[in-house]
Structure 1
Amino acid sequence: MSTTAAVAQILTGANPPTGVVVGTSIAGVVDVAAGGVDGAGGTVTPLSRFDVASVTKVAATTSALMRLVSQGELDIDVAAGSILPEVRSAADASVRDLLTHRAGLWEWQPLYFTPDPWATVCELALRYEPGSGRHYSDLGFMILGRIVSAVAGAPLEEAVRALVTEPLGLSSTGYGPVEDAVVSGHGDATEQRMVRTGEPYPVLLADPGFTWREADIRGTVNDGNAAHAFGGVSGHAGLFTTVADLLTLGRALLCDDFVAEQVSQEFFAEGPDHGQALGWRTGRVRRDGTVHRIIWHPGFTGCAFGVLPDADTAVAVLSNRLLAAEPRTTDSIWTDALRAVPNLTWESTS
């Protein structure tokens, strides 16, 4: 299936996004297709920029950490508290623990309910016994973003630019606000519901009478904590980019001129928990009868990005799934996008 066919399949399936871009890079040959509308009266094109939500965790934060390790600036087995003394919540957790979501932190809290969100991250009591298992945590990547900043000696936005986007010429990638982005969602409806219901996570913080966004969100980050608590720049969310830039990044991560081979091998290796590497998720795909590992990450807004290290292949999909009345899951959009690689099908998490 081509990228054009994958776009058509996503747009005509059940509960489709209004717009989507799918791209592949196979042995250096790039193919990108787009379709649909951007939610603001425009057409989605291959150059459309999307809020990629948690893809930020790998395209910005983890990639920056890989570069710092490659440059000899960071040891991922050091304790977070030795780099950020204020992080009492996870002082003994290593950078590795944070990357594998094994630090015991809460998955999510509406930090914008507090007068000092970063202090809340630093002081919030752990939810789980450290090292007891994988508990996917936005708070952990907020800490990792601060670690990037501290080691690089620059604000996170500048550090990501210096370590990742400028060396690769990713001119369409960066933190918002941006003027030409695709609409990512209808206000703060999702987080309002999370606070109201306590699902999927119990809420510890009292609502002080917070003023929620009601209008469509375009050009500012959809994620509430990134938007309201951290000015649009965080280690867990906030990045805007295009499919072409993600494919360039994917190719670079497979090249030891950008990241040392031993570093990429360590970050891409399966961790102690099923389907989780260092920052990245892992899975299995089948292509021409051969099983390959895929290293990838989804984003809540309907975006995903990954590489097949042993097949010189990168894949990306950007969509605005939250504009659908009953949004599809990002995972299902991702499995459709993977079909753009000839003779490839998703099998399972690793």
Structure 2
Amino acid sequence: MTLPSEESPSEELLPGTRRALLHRLAVGQAEGRTPSLVGAVVRGGRLVWADGRSMIDGHSPDADVQYRIGSITKTFVAVQVMRLRDEGVLDLADPLDRHLPGTAAGPGAGAGALTIAQLLGHTSGLASEPPGPWWERTPGTLRPLLDDVLHEPAVRHPAGRRFHYSNPGFALLGALVSRLRGQPWGDALHEEVLAPLGLTRTTLSPQAPHAGGFGVHPWADVMVPEPLEDTGVMAPAGQLWSTAADLSRWAAFLAQGDKAVLSADTLAEMRQPASGPDEADGWTTSYGLGLQLRRQDGRLLYGHLGSMPGFLAAVLVSQRDDVAAVVLANVTAGPAVALIAADLIRIVAEHEPRIPDPWRPLPAVDPALLALTGLWHWGPSPHLLHLRADRGLELIPQSQTGRGARFRAEADGTWTGLDGYYAGETLRVVRAPDGAVSHLDIGTFVFSRTPYDPDADIPGGLDPGGWRTY
């Protein structure tokens, strides 16, 4: 098998692990009745295993064979949009019409001022599919204009109210990138994302070697070739072709970021649910900003699935396990690529659990910050405040009713919440007139050293009778 490095990366996994991965791939190909199935695993940012199974003995595809990846294309578009946001060219709260005027999604066309964030998170309310014939199986020339991808009326639900997957929404985002970059969307993608990350086998059109797409009869073991159409203005919704090797590099980027393309902080923002419950709640599937989220086997996975006539694809990442998986098939329906990818991650995580980084003391510590650590109370609820790297703080509740969060240090001496209830809220150290620390203020919530400290500025004051029995 040809692998994308001179040395076989599979040597980094134990033989038992590799055997279990191959078994899962073989079961997926056989039970899914797909002409071929390719799988890959990334650990520590590197491809450590890749293999393929096919209907042709001795001729399984390798990690350099292209497959159509369908809606995984949307993750690339989302990265392009977030680059524009980080550059200050746009704000996610901007209405699309501010940067891409005159479309059927504009305020003058009855669809309202849909925002860029709503399009990224599929909360715009736009129709799920464009009008006319099935866009994935017909030439893009049948839909030559951007407004051809929207129904009249275009909106199916009130904007911002619910998740409703919209392929036309990403066609609009691709057009937005094209307008702001002053060049075709695909050219901008190559220059600012594909080339910097070394994704040389990710293209708008298939390049040899590539798989052909097939439909398999539901009741008989026979196949029919599927059409491989150029989707035109719908391309940002699902046009791209790629390989297991390239998508492994893409998965590593989604996990770690790359300063030449997009920061790890922005990627972390993209994988927060854009609608519905917070990450701390018990949801099973959700959607961020161009990234699908799912809980499987007790772990949080993010990435995206893809489908086009003749092809299925999945890229999933487990941040906790530092493992990602890629699965590619050349069949319209059959193999559960999302479950296979999740199983590949689970197998590696169970057979070879991640070895944690060694504990190391902080290189330096500010005595004033060290003095803030320890026990604090929100009312009667105890919390422990820990000092972390880079002057960060972490508040950990000591009871079932408390709210914890991590906080990032800011230049002005405050901290900003990174997760949970306090995400985005400001933590301030409030001092008494003599300079001594009085209490912590987190978005007006008072944390004092003792429960309801009478010397702290507690709204409503403390009952003059103090603590007592009845």
Please give the TM-score of this superposition, normalised by the length of structure 1: 0.76
1:152 matched to which residue of 2?
181
Matched, 1:338 2:341: no
1:241 equivalenced with 2:242 (yes/no):
yes
The DSSP-based 3-state class of the residue aligned with 1:88 is coil
In the superposition, the TM-score normalised over structure 2's length comes to: 0.58
Identity of aligned residues (%): 23
Code of the aligned partner of 1:57: K
Q: 1:319 aligns with which of 329, 351, 357?
A: 329
Q: Mind listing any 5+ residue stretches in structure 2 that lack a counterpart?
A: 1-16, 108-112, 135-141, 218-222, 277-284, 352-470
Aligned to 1:216: 225
State the secondary structure of the residue aligned to 1:343: helix
> Which of 101, 112, 119 is the aligned partner of 2:147?
119
Greater RCO structure (CA 8 Å; 6+ sep):
1
Contact 1:87 1:123 in 2 (8 A): no
Of 58, 62, 84 in structure 1, the residue corresponding to residue 100 of structure 2 is: 84
C-alpha separation between the residues in 2 aligned to 1:283 and 1:115?
33
Point out where structure 1 has 5 or more consecutive residues left out of the alignment.
Answer: 190-213, 222-226, 345-350
Are 2:159 and 1:130 aligned?
yes
Output aligned runs, 1:122-271, within 5 Å: 124-125=152-153, 126-186=155-215, 216-217=225-226, 220-221=228-229, 227-230=230-233, 234-253=235-254, 254-257=256-259, 258-271=261-274
1:164-206 Cα distance to aligned partner (Å, 9 max, x none): 100011110111043432112349x9xxxxxxxxxxxxxxxxx
Q: Aligned residue for 2:290?
A: 279
Report the RMSD for the aligned CA atoms in angstroms: 2.9
Code of the aligned partner of 1:320: N
Residues 44 and 260 of structure 1, relative CA distance in 2, 3 Å threshold: same
Tell me the residue number matched to 1:107.
128
Query: Does the Cα contact within 8 Å between 2:32 and 2:336 map onto a contact in 1?
Result: no
- Richer in helix (by share): 1
- Structure 1: distance between partners of 2:317 and 2:342: 14
The Cα of 1:20 is off from its aligned counterpart by: 1.2
1:120 and 1:100, CA in 2 relative to 1: closer, same or farther beyond 3 A?
A: same
CA distance in 2, matches of 1:268, 1:216: 36
SS across alignment from 1:235: helix
Residue identity matched to 2:25 = V
Name the CA distance, whole Å, in 2 between partners of 1:328 and 1:7: 10
Shift of 1:101: 0.8
In structure 1, C-alpha distance between the alignment counterparts of 2:55 and 2:242, rounded to whole Å = 14
- Are residue 9 (structure 1) and residue 27 (structure 2) matched? yes
CA–CA distance in structure 1, aligned partners of residues 152 and 192 of structure 2 = 30
CA distance in 1, matches of 2:343, 2:268: 27
Aligned amino acid, residue 250 of structure 1: A
Find the residue that maps to 1:158 and give its secondary structure.
helix
How far off is 1:332 after superposition?
3.7
Conserved? CA contact 1:7–1:33, under 8 Å: no
Which residue in the other structure is 2:313 paired with?
303
- 2:209 maps to a residue whose letter is D
Structure 1 residue 27: deviation in Å?
1.2
SS of residue in 2 equivalent to 1:338: helix
Q: Find the aligned partners of 1:186 and 1:285 in 2 and give their Cα distance.
A: 28
The structure-2 alpha-carbon separation of the partners of 1:169 and 1:272, relative to structure 1 and needing over 3 Å to count, comes to same
